[in-house]
Amino acid sequence: MDGQTIVNALILGVVEGLTEFIPVSSTGHLLLIGHFLGFESTGKTFEVLIQLGAILAILSVYSARLWQLAKSLPSDAASRRFVFGILIAFLPAAIIGVMAHGFIKEVLFETPALVCTTLLVGGIILLWIDRLELSPKYTNVMDYPLSLCLKIGFCQCLAMVPGVSRSGATIAGSLLMGADKRSAAEFSFFLAMPTMAGAFAYDLYKNRNVISTDDVVLISIGFVASFIAGFFVVKGLLDFVSRHGFAPFAWWRIFVGLAGFAGLYFLG
Highest mean pLDDT among 1-10, 43-52, 101-110, 143-152: 143-152
Give the pLDDT band (50/70/90) at residue 51.
Answer: confident
Strand partners, 179: 138
Write out pLDDT tens, residues 122-158: 999 999 998 898 899 999 999 999 999 999 999 999 9
Q: Across residues 23-34, what is the average pLDDT?
A: 92
Give the pLDDT band (50/70/90) at residue 41.
Answer: confident
pLDDT value, residue 138 = 96
Q: Residue 59 is which amino acid? A: L
Domain residue limits, the chain: 3-267
Between 17-31, 42-56, 127-141, 251-265, the lowest mean confidence (pLDDT) is in 42-56
Strand partners, 138: 179
First to last CA, the chain: 24
Short-list 252, 245, 249, CA closest to 175? 245
Q: Is the entire prediction scored with pTM above 0.85?
A: yes
